[in-house]
Each structure stands twice: as C-alpha cells, then as structure tokens.
Structure 1
C-alpha cells in the first residue's frame, strides 16, 4: 500500500504539476538577518509581505502547521509562432508573463491538489490547507529549496535540474505531517554569468538582489523611471529575462506542458506605437490576462515610450508630441519629452518653442524637470547644427 505522500505525488502528476516536494513547517528564521539587512539597505521592492515575522514563522499564519508542500510548473521559453511582420517596432514582455496569469494557473492546480489530498486523507481527522503563490507570506524560493525542488542560484531564483529556473512556484501549508524531502544546495560553483550580465548590477553576488536596481522592478513602478535605467530596458516593457537567459542551467530549456501558458504573440510582443493611446477597454481585452498587466496600463505605456526611444523609432515623434499636448498624466508627458530629445536629429526652432510652451504649462515638478532636461539637449543640438 503506497504511503499518503506517494499517493499525493501520483495525484500531482495526474493534475499536471511538473514537480512537487515536501518540507516541514519549521521556521525560516535563518532568513531573518538577510531580510532585515535588505530592508535596512532599501534593497527590497516593497511588493513583499509587510510583516517580517509572518514571512519566517508558518505558525503565525496557520493553525498547527505540520508540513509545507511546494509545487513547480514549467513554462515555455520559445514561441511557436512569431507576431506578424508589419514593419512596426515592437516591445516585449518577459517570459514569466506569457500566457494566462500564472497566479491563476497555480491557484487552480493547488486547488485541484488540495481536493485530491482531501479525498486521499478522507479517513483522517479534519485536514486543513493554506495555498499561496507569489503574494503570500512565505518566500516561494526558500520553501521550494527546502522542499528539494531545486537550489537557489546566484540570481536569487530557484533552479531545478529538469527545467532550469523557468518555473512558477507555489506552496501549500497543511496540518498533515509528511516526510520531508532533502534540500538541494547551491550548484553555481564559480559561474557568475548572471551577475556579470545584469545591466544595472542588481545582483549582489550571494543570491540576493537589490530589487530597486532590478530592471524587472523598474518596469513595474508607476512613477518616472530613473534615467539611468531607461536605456537598459531596451525594448522590454515588462520584466527582465537576462539573468535567466545567460544561465548555463537554462541552456536548451523549453517546455510546453500547459496550453494556458502558451503566448499570444501579438500580446507579448505588441507594436509599441498603438500602446501609447490604447483605451482602457481594449487594454483589458488584449493584455488583461497577462501577469504583466497587474499594475495597469500607465507603466506599460511609459515603458513603451522609453522603448521607442531606445529602438530609435523616429516615426513616433508626432505621436509623442501629441501626448505632450493632450495626455493628462505627468509621467507620460515627461517621459515623452525625454524621448523627443533622444529621437530628434534635426532640431527646429518650432520644436524648441513647442517644448518651451509645454514646460511653461507643466505643473508637475518631476515632469517639469524632464522638459528642462529635454530642452537642454535639444538646444545643444540646435546650436551644433
């Protein structure tokens, strides 16, 4: 007769969970010093759960926890079909935002797994569960590592032997005692490719991240993106894949187990110019299913403006001028002013006058600063002509 754990593993495979592991509900207090240092140095993203103790002690968020079940779902890294060639410049979403929002996919898989466990443990006393993904209290990578799914790489991501780091993670706290699996230790060795290739040097060299410097974080902020990071995002409008793309453990990894994860090319590689004026309804229809839409359309539109400047799409200048003239949002107006200064080769007195008038009418201090910097650059170019 197979054990309950063996039956749960078999059930997970039939549900389509690619990897499952088990660990105790012992505290993760060994993370405390590192997490506190991250907070003190302002290296946290701010998206994390706010109460530190609840990130470390499962018993604070669950009554009498005995085990934590960790799951991983592998996601694709290559598109079966590319978007249509229209000649228009396109942006891109990082791979973790391809397909249906992974939070929804993971929650569905964990709900199915919980139902299966309830059936398997029907003769036991009342069993309880708390599923979490990404926005839960515990650290997904810490739970997955301790449950034996993989090791935490120098890029801070969980790296599995089978699927590399291209996996979505979730965990379920339960009052069922399961035999824990063996944690996996770091296998990066002397390799530092992720650290060496990170454009803003966000990786700290020990598996930790200065989240404020991470390009993925920068694409998700709502205000002005600091100018330092603008060229570094290139044409990516959400997320960043660089530390995964250069990782040797990810070489040749591309899995297509889950139809819901398959990308719609036109959504994950959208034309940039139409994004600038997309309405709320159309945005929800085209991008609402993506994890990358969680912050709304403004950050993506800001990033699209930056991407147009980075790819030198001078055909966007008239539309950028229109945004300066009519858009009600300071972040969009100011970022458009910056982009105009990057894209304009032949500066005219008329353009200078337009920008001066826009700067004079601007009431937002940060946007005003963007116009002033843009005018400095444009005036320099005009004097050189």
Structure 2
C-alpha cells in the first residue's frame, strides 16, 4: 500500500475511534524549542514535573532511532458543565480545572494511541512505533504545533480553530514516512488578555510561562503554599483555567463530544468541608479516575483549607480545628492554623494560642503565628 493511501485511511480510522484532530510532522529536531527550554531552565521557570533532559525533549531520533515522522492527535474536552451546583454559605465548593473533568485523559488518549499503533502494526510489516502523552519526553504542544493541530497561543496552550484550546494532546513516533502537514498561522494577534488576567503573573511574556508561579502547578505541590499565592488560588482545588476562559478563541467552544469527559458535578465541583476528613479509601473511590487525583489527597485537602479561608467560611471552623489539633501532617495543621486566623471568628485566638502550647513542629508554629497576626489586622 502506498504511504499516501495509508495516511488517508489512518485519518479516517482515527476519526472513527474518537480522535477529533490528527496531524503529521517529520521527526526532525525541534531546534527553536531547544533554545527556549534552555532559557526556561536558566531562568528557573520549569515545574520539575517535566523530563529534565532537553536533548530527549527535542531530538525524536534519540527516542526512536529510525523515526521518520510523528503522528499528533487531539481530543476535545468540555468547557462548560451542565447542571453545575452553586456553592453558598455553609456549602462552599471547590473546583477542578476542565482538563480534570471526566475520566483521566492520560488513560483516554493512551487508549486511542494504542489502537492506532495496533492498526498500523496490522498493515505495515516491521513498523516501529513509540507513543506518549503528557508524561513522555517530547513536548506535546511543540509536536502538535508543527503538525498543524493548532497554533501555540500566548498562554502556552495549543489553540485549534475547531475546539479552541480545550484539547488533550498525544503523539506517536514511527518509521513510516508520512507526508507532513503545514503548521497553522498564529491568530492571537495583538490580544493579550491571557497575560493581563493571569492571577499570579505567571505568563511573563507571550508564550513564556514561569511554571513556579502558575496556579496550575502550585495546586499540585505538596508543601506549604507560599504566602503570596494563598489569596490568589480562590477555590481552585486542582489546576487553573483563567488563561483559557478569557481567550476569545474559546468563546462558544462547548465541546460536549465525548461522554467519558463529561463531568460529574459532585466530583468536578465538590463540597469543601467533607474533603478535610475524607479517608484514603473514600478519596480513591471518589476521585481516582480523574487526572487531578494523581498527587493524592494531601494537596487537594490543603487547597480546600485555603478555599475555605478565601470564603471566610465560619461554619468550617469545627473541621479546621479538628485538622489543627489532630492531623498528623504538618502542612495541613499549619495551613489550618493560617485559615483559622484568616476566617477570624471570636474563638479563633483562643484556639490558636492553645495549639501553640502543644505544637512542636517549627513550620506549624510559624503558621500559627501568621494566623494570630491575621487576627490583629
């Protein structure tokens, strides 16, 4: 079979298995990206979650030595929730970012990539394939951009004409020499909305992100959240969508396409107070299928405490006191102390002073002091 015919049939097959967009590019090095990544590294802008070896991230032939091309795929996910519950006093809710609604995208994208691999293996003797999604060495967005899936927006997301930036990405390297697609022209123009509204100023320049300041990264950390960001995360439990929701290219892109990504409102927007006492078993049962659970319950519980402080939710005081007095994890005890001071009820000072007498962890003691200081402001 001719490669051109194979390519056409592959495009049709990909559509039949729930791939919303497919593109092709060469396995040539990503030279410009290499320079950008080196600069990011020098500036300390990387998150630490990504592959540290820049050569592996930019040289496809180091991953598959006879690669000829890369197949890029995109799968759209919803931008709106149907029947979203509204939080109210006494029943405050947190929010998971849209990329963590529904089934874990790593699983969903990987399943489609594996189906494409099997399809190619049936048709091409001695075919070689290597696929990845998100946690692989290659930079998904760079591959998608070069393969014509979309352009790289100023918010560092791939923006597609059809689905906006609400797409999951994945790729397959192969030794089949598919014809490359033409990259899409950048349509951001002089719009800077995403830069202007970023809550922490993490988008330092068009297409340049300081991950260390990005709320999407900060919500995934496990230690104490730095003071300057505590008032910025609002009720976000995992991830941040601000730079996507303000993007004009996302207007009207609902993307209610795949059942597996449609959120359960009680999981995507859960009540905050029950999260403070949720057991490992309960957490796993409720949240293990969503990508936002990958770091475990501790960061989400810490963020829930910060969200309750953001709302100054007085009804949460009993749960916060319980965490301060009983939780074995210093980060949660300390964050609860800070939150108690932030909420500032009449009994808060007595609670914090009593905890101060019993607490032995230096970091927690420092947070108790911060809570007491907040009471006097």
Q: Same fold (TM over 0.5)?
A: yes
Q: How does 1:283-298 map to 2 (within 5 A)?
A: 283-298=283-298
Q: Secondary structure at the match of 1:220?
A: coil
Aligned-residue offset at 1:208: 1.3
Q: How does 1:364-375 map to 2 (within 5 A)?
A: 364-375=361-372
Aligned mates of 1:200, 1:144 — CA distance in 2? 27
Equivalent pair of 2:19/2:73 in contact (CA under 8 Å):
yes
Q: Does 1:101 align with 2:104?
A: yes
Q: Secondary structure at the match of 2:205?
A: coil
TM-score when normalising by structure 2: 0.96
Equivalent pair of 2:60/2:67 in contact (CA under 8 Å):
yes
Q: Does 1:208 align with 2:208?
A: yes
Segments ≥4 residues shifted beyond 4 Å:
84-87
Q: How does 1:192-231 map to 2 (within 5 A)?
A: 192-231=192-231
Aligned mates of 1:353, 1:65 — CA distance in 2? 66
C-alpha RMSD over aligned residues: 1.5
Residue aligning to 1:110: 113
Q: Does 1:267 align with 2:245?
A: no
Give ranges in structure 1 of 5+ residues lacking alignment.
Answer: none
Residue aligning to 2:21: 19
Deviations 1:217-260 (A, max 9, x none): 11000000112111111111110000000000000001122111
Aligned mates of 1:201, 1:39 — CA distance in 2? 18
Aligned mates of 2:161, 2:325 — CA distance in 1? 53
Q: Does 1:335 align with 2:335?
A: yes
Equivalent pair of 2:19/2:75 in contact (CA under 8 Å):
yes
Deviations 1:19-47 (A, max 9, x none): 00000000012212211111111110000
Residue aligning to 1:170: 170
Aligned mates of 1:135, 1:365 — CA distance in 2? 36
Residue aligning to 1:356: 353
Residue aligning to 2:122: 119
Aligned mates of 1:13, 1:32 — CA distance in 2? 32
Aligned-residue offset at 1:113: 1.3
Deviations 1:180-234 (A, max 9, x none): 0001232111000000010101002220100010011110000001121111111
Q: Secondary structure at the match of 2:232?
A: helix
The 10-residue stretch of structure 1 (54-63 or 364-373) with the greater mean CA deviation from structure 2: 364-373
The 10-residue stretch of structure 1 (76-85 or 364-373) with the greater mean CA deviation from structure 2: 76-85
Aligned-residue offset at 1:286: 0.4
Give ranges in structure 2 of 5+ residues lacking alignment.
Answer: none
Equivalent pair of 2:335/2:367 in contact (CA under 8 Å):
yes
Residue aligning to 2:63: 61
Aligned-residue offset at 1:101: 0.2
Residue aligning to 2:132: 132
Deviations 1:123-176 (A, max 9, x none): xx4001111000000000000000000000000000001000000000000111
Aligned-residue offset at 1:83: 3.6
* Distance verdict in 2 for CA 1:179–1:37, change over 3 Å: same
Q: Does 1:90 align with 2:90?
A: no
Equivalent pair of 1:133/1:169 in contact (CA under 8 Å):
yes
Residue aligning to 2:10: 8
Equivalent pair of 1:7/1:120 in contact (CA under 8 Å):
no
